Amino acid sequence: MPDPDPILLLEDVRYRWPGRRAFGLHVGQLSLARGETVLLLGESGSGKSTLLSLICGTIAADAGRVLVADTDFAKLSPGQRDKFRAEQIGLIFQQFNLLPFASVRDNIALPLQFAPKRRARVKDPSQEARRLCRELGLPDDVITTRAGTLSVGQQQRVAAARALIGTPPLIIADEPTSSLDAETQESFLELLFAQSRAHDTSLLMVSHDARLADQFDRVIHMTEIAQTLRDAA
Amino acid sequence: MILRLAFASLAARALTVGMTILAIALSVALFLGVEKVRTGAKASFADTISGTDLIVGARSGSVQLLLYSVFRIGNATNNMTWDSYKDLAAQPEVDWIVPISLGDSHRQFRVMGTTTAFFERYKYRSGQPLAVSDGAVMDDLFDAVIGADVAATLGYEIGAPIVVAHGLASFTEHKDQPFRVSGILEKTGTPVDRTVIVSLEAIEAIHVDWRNGAQIPGQSTPADVIRQMQLEPQAITAALIGTQSRLQVFSLQRAINEYPQEPLLAILPGVALQELWQIVGIAETALIGVSGMVVVTALIGMMATIFSSLNERRREMAIFRAMGARPRVVLGLLVLEAVLMAIIGAALGLALLYAGLFIGQPLIDSAFGLWLPIEPPSMRELWVLLGVVAAGAIVSMVPAYRAYRMSLADGMMVRN
Ligand SMILES: Nc1ncnc2c1ncn2[C@@H]1O[C@H](COP(=O)(O)OP(=O)(O)O)[C@@H](O)[C@H]1O
Ligand SMILES: [Mg+2]
**Distance to chain B for A164, nearest Cα, Å:** 12
The least confident of A20-24, B26-30, B172-176, B339-343 is B172-176
Please tell me the residue having the least CA distance from ligand 1 atom 26: A45
In a domain, B273, yes or no: no
Looking at the fold, whether B255 and B221 belong to one and the same domain comes out as yes
CA dist list (Å): A100 to B8, B11, B316: 9, 11, 8
**Predicted ipTM of the assembly:** 0.90
Looking at the fold, whether B258 and B395 belong to one and the same domain comes out as no
Q: Are the C-beta atoms of A87 and A117 separated by less than 8 Å?
A: yes
> pLDDT digits over B266-277, tens only?
999 989 988 888
In a domain, A1, yes or no: no
Looking at the fold, whether B60 and B18 belong to one and the same domain comes out as no
**pLDDT at B154 exceeding the cut of 50:** yes
In a domain, A20, yes or no: yes
> pLDDT digits over A53-104, tens only?
899 888 888 989 999 998 998 888 888 988 999 999 999 988 778 999 999 9
Looking at the fold, whether B298 and B223 belong to one and the same domain comes out as no
In a domain, B82, yes or no: yes
Looking at the fold, whether B218 and B362 belong to one and the same domain comes out as no
**Residues of B in Cβ contact (< 8 Å) with A91:** 322-323, 412
Q: Could you give the CA distance from residue B279 to residue B265 in angstroms, rounded to a whole number?
A: 19
| The pLDDT of residue B37 | 85
In a domain, B247, yes or no: yes
| The pLDDT of residue B149 | 87
The least confident of A161-170, B70-79, B193-202, B217-226 is B217-226
Under the banding of pLDDT at 50, 70 and 90, the label for residue A233 is very low
In a domain, B10, yes or no: yes
Task: Output the domain CATH number for residue A217.
Answer: 3.40.50.300
The least confident of B26-30, B76-80, B167-171, B327-331 is B167-171
Looking at the fold, whether B82 and B128 belong to one and the same domain comes out as yes
User: What phi and psi values does residue B179 have, to the nearest 5 degrees?
Assistant: -75, 160
| The pLDDT of residue A57 | 87
Question: B218 is in which domain, residue-wise?
Answer: 54-267
| The pLDDT of residue B177 | 65
Tell me how many domains chain A contains: 1
> pLDDT digits over A180-232, tens only?
777 778 888 888 888 888 888 999 999 888 888 888 899 999 888 888 776 54
Rounded mean pLDDT, B116-120: 92
Rounded mean pLDDT, B314-321: 87
| Final residue before a domain boundary, out of B244, B267, B290 | B267
Rounded mean pLDDT, B247-252: 91
Please tell me the residue having the least CA distance from ligand 1 atom 5: A17
The least confident of A142-156, B102-116, B168-182 is B168-182
In a domain, A2, yes or no: no
Q: Could you give the CA distance from residue B384 to residue B406 in angstroms, rounded to a whole number?
A: 33
Under the banding of pLDDT at 50, 70 and 90, the label for residue B412 is low
Residue B24 vs residue B367, higher pLDDT: B24
Q: Which residue in B195, B34, B175 sits closest to B108, CA to CA?
A: B195
Q: What spacing in Å lies between the alpha carbon of B162 and ligand 1's midpoint?
A: 91
Rounded mean pLDDT, A136-146: 89
Looking at the fold, whether B226 and B148 belong to one and the same domain comes out as yes
* Total-model pTM: 0.73
Looking at the fold, whether B120 and B256 belong to one and the same domain comes out as yes
**Distance to chain B for A81, nearest Cα, Å:** 8
Looking at the fold, whether B108 and B250 belong to one and the same domain comes out as yes
Q: Are strands B238-243 and B54-58 parallel, antiparallel or unpaired?
A: antiparallel
| The pLDDT of residue B386 | 94
| The pLDDT of residue A93 | 87
| The pLDDT of residue B17 | 92
Q: Which DSSP state fits A146?
A: B
Question: A107 is in which domain, residue-wise?
Answer: 8-230
**pLDDT at A124 exceeding the cut of 90:** yes
In a domain, B275, yes or no: no
Strand order in the sheet with A89-92: A89-92, A170-174, A202-207, A37-41, A218-221
- Please, is B185 exposed, middle or buried when counting C-beta atoms within 10 Å of its C-beta (0-12, 13-18, 19+)? buried
| The pLDDT of residue B366 | 66
Mean of the per-residue pLDDT values for chain B? 86
Under the banding of pLDDT at 50, 70 and 90, the label for residue B367 is low
At CB < 8 Å, which residues of chain B contact A?
Answer: 1-2, 4-5, 8-9, 11-12, 315-316, 319-329, 411-414
Tell me how many domains chain B contains: 2
The least confident of A223-232, B328-337, B347-356 is A223-232
Looking at the fold, whether B20 and B123 belong to one and the same domain comes out as no
In a domain, B69, yes or no: yes
| The pLDDT of residue B234 | 87
**pLDDT at B213 exceeding the cut of 90:** no
Rounded mean pLDDT, A159-181: 88
Q: Are the C-beta atoms of B57 and B206 separated by less than 8 Å?
A: no
Q: Are B319 and A114 a contacting pair at CB < 8 A?
A: no
| The pLDDT of residue B171 | 45
Rounded mean pLDDT, B209-229: 68
Looking at the fold, whether B127 and B248 belong to one and the same domain comes out as yes
**pLDDT at B212 exceeding the cut of 90:** no
In a domain, B274, yes or no: no
In a domain, B105, yes or no: yes
